[in-house]
Chains A and B, each alone.
Chain A
Amino acid sequence: MRLRRAGLILLLLLPGLGLILVLIGSVIVMAFGQSVGYFALTGESGFSWEHWREQLDGRLLWRSFQYSAYIATTSSILSVLLAYPIAMWLRRPFRGSLFAGALLKAPLLVPGLVAAFLFINVISFHGFFNELMVWLGIIDRPIRMQNDRNGYGVIFLQVWKNMPFALLLLTGSVQAISDDVLNAARDMGAGSIARFRKVILPLTVPAMQAALVIIFIGAAGDFSFQAVAGPTQVNSMAQLMVRLKGEFGGYHEAGVVAVLLMALALFGSVALAGLTRFAVRAGMKV
């Protein structure tokens, strides 16, 4: 009987979870395998550290790695920092709060490439922003902002697209805190800052971590924002991977980048989540 039940559940999990595990599993195996010389499409297939050595020696990979790590960290932290006060503001419904929420969440509906195009339009050499600044007399001539060297454009786009997502998670979490609990803290002498630090922050840590992790992973693996609005002298990890694969059919080289990108996504997001927890705990004690 128990065996039959277990069998039934396994059977039910097969088409959904099973398919996910098979496909994503083989993709990961492919990436690892090709990075160490297996599954070669042409030539010899066999174990070799050659591709790792080659890539790790080059400066291209490290610059991409650092750049993607920087974009991902900055974007995720900025998105959450911006989303917190807004989530607090929208905690309790008031006249117009639904409208405000809808406006703020609108970027969720805009596909990334469209967002990138809209942004380019606004900041381009003869875009709205430049013309406005010239018209206002703040600058004499249009300045070049597109594809800036520091990736500010990409970070802006990431925040534009992801802040609403962080807001969505945080609003849900902040609204789940009952008024009674906040009133109790108030009743016992906690002012608004103490209430935020000792009650709201610790209780919203899971939502904050989820937002940070998901935004971090997305931004670390970004291709489209980088391709359209990013600096031209450096590649993001995804961009580098696609280039290596496309330009030379270099799946082995792309494999090395893919493994490092997955490592960045995994360890970076775990570290970020851990640090958040640590920081909130410390904040509670002070």
Chain B
Amino acid sequence: MLRVDDVTKTFEDGFRALKGVSLNAGRGDFVTLLGPSGCGKTTLLKVVAGFLTPTEGTVSIDGADVTREPPERRDTAMCFQSYALFPHMTVAQNIEFGPRQNRVAKDERLARLNALLTQVDLEAHQHKLPNALSGGQQQRVALARALAMRPGIVLFDEPLSNLDAKLRDQVRIEIRALQREHGFTAIYVTHDQAEALAMSDHVLVMREGAVEQEGAPEEIYTAPRTSFVADFIGAANLLTGTVLGEDGQGRWQVQTEMGTVKVASDEPPVAPSVHVSWRPEDAVLANGSANGSGTGENLIQAPIVARVYQGSFTEYVLDAPERPAVSLRVHATQFGAREGETLAFHVPPDRLRFLEQVAS
């Protein structure tokens, strides 16, 4: 459906926003471009939409090369971060704009308008100007306006960033429902990792104009390949390790700031000196520690510096036993321990992951 091949974009001022990015999306896929601001995700979206022409590489839709086609001749529709509603047109006029431009017959146009107004629940507001609507309603008009074109691909540029948290969850569900119903391919740009994990079939984590890692959301979360990805998606404890040796069954002895630990990994470390990460929620509190339970390898004992109650869990901030300057984070459902006490916990070896080489 959509193929982006090795696209590079250099701006006139010499800034290289994209450095050889490729992307594949099948019909009906929900693909998310995730990364911090300035990583090139929006530039990539604009290249797909046709607002920017890549310096190198190609974009093709349904097998046809559209790299040089202007946006008005592509089968894409964009949902802008600012919504970009036409302020001088009513909700209905906004939604009808695309079909009118494309000379869709009147009956068909009205049928689409009415169907969309029902779907996004805006029938009552169709004759209002955008300024008279709330942020969530404006967002839905933008969505309906894009869908009225019956595009094969809908491009979302951080569409939820101007909404408050509760509304965001609701619109998120609505977008997925509409996508399932209309069957369009969605390319979704966000810097919010939770959003990316919740919505996508496929996630591309971008950094400085290149794809750092891509895969299904579970894969990205459970098996990050670099400390950037581990840190950007969810919370992670990042350590530097020196590999001491292997026991022949895929278990490695690694010396880290929290002591010497065992790491169970299918793949060998990329270098003798590598980054190692684990998720705070993977720690299992040990017997004897404050209300803790569980047994296993990699027993670690560390002083509690701070305790943050988060409702469904408690976060403990600890000093790493070997290097107190490094903080460790542990999420536990028990919350008996206090600052100044020592927390004892296990990190199962299969939950520790080798990342990239430590830069010397």
Q: Which residue numbers of A lie inside 8 Å of B, CB to CB?
A: 178, 180-181, 183-191, 194, 198-199, 202-203
Contacts and interface: CB of A to CB of B under 8 A. Distances in A.
A183 B80 contact: yes
B87 interface: yes
A194 B70 CA distance: 15
Nearest to B87: A203
B101 A184 contact: no
A190 B101 contact: yes
Interface in B238-259: none
Contact of B84 (A184, A190, A203): A184
B80 A180 contact: yes
Contacts of B70: 186
B349 to A, nearest CB: 50
B166 interface: no
B71 to A, nearest CB: 5
Contacts of A185: 86, 97
Contacts of A187: 49-51, 71-72, 76-78
B159 to A, nearest CB: 12
A188 B97 contact: yes
A188 B145 contact: yes
Contacts of B76: 187
A180 to B, nearest CB: 4
A197 to B, nearest CB: 11
A184 to B, nearest CB: 4
B91 interface: no
B82 interface: yes
A191 B72 contact: yes
Contacts of A202: 88
Nearest to B83: A180
B173 to A, nearest CB: 24
Contacts of B83: 180
A208 B83 CA distance: 26
The winner among A180, A184, A203 for most chain B CB atoms within 10 A is A184
> What 8 A-B pairs come out closest when comparing CB atoms?
A188-B98, A180-B84, A189-B101, A184-B84, A189-B72, A180-B80, A202-B88, A181-B84
B80 to A, nearest CB: 5
Interface in B55-107: 70-73, 76-78, 80-88, 97-98, 101-102
A235 to B, nearest CB: 43
A183 B88 contact: no
A61 B85 CA distance: 51
Contacts of B39: none
A203 to B, nearest CB: 6
B203 interface: no
Interface string B171-203: 000000000000000000000000000000000
A183 B51 contact: yes
B102 A189 contact: yes
B149 interface: yes
Contacts of A184: 78, 80, 84-86, 145
The winner among A180, A188, A191 for most chain B CB atoms within 10 A is A188
A185 B77 CA distance: 10
Interface in B175-234: none
A106 B81 CA distance: 39
Contacts of A189: 72-73, 98, 101-102, 149
Contact of A186 (B71, B81, B86, B102): B71
A191 B71 CA distance: 10
B157 to A, nearest CB: 9
A280 to B, nearest CB: 10
23 contacts: A178-B82, A180-B80, A180-B82, A180-B83, A181-B84, A181-B86, A183-B80, A183-B84, A184-B80, A184-B86, A184-B145, A186-B71, A187-B49, A187-B71, A188-B97, A188-B102, A189-B73, A190-B72, A190-B97, A190-B101, A191-B72, A194-B101, A203-B87
A183 B71 contact: yes
Contacts of B72: 186-191
B20 to A, nearest CB: 25
The winner among B76, B98, B145 for most chain A CB atoms within 10 A is B98
A284 B70 CA distance: 23
The winner among B49, B77, B83, B101 for most chain A CB atoms within 10 A is B101
A183 B72 CA distance: 9
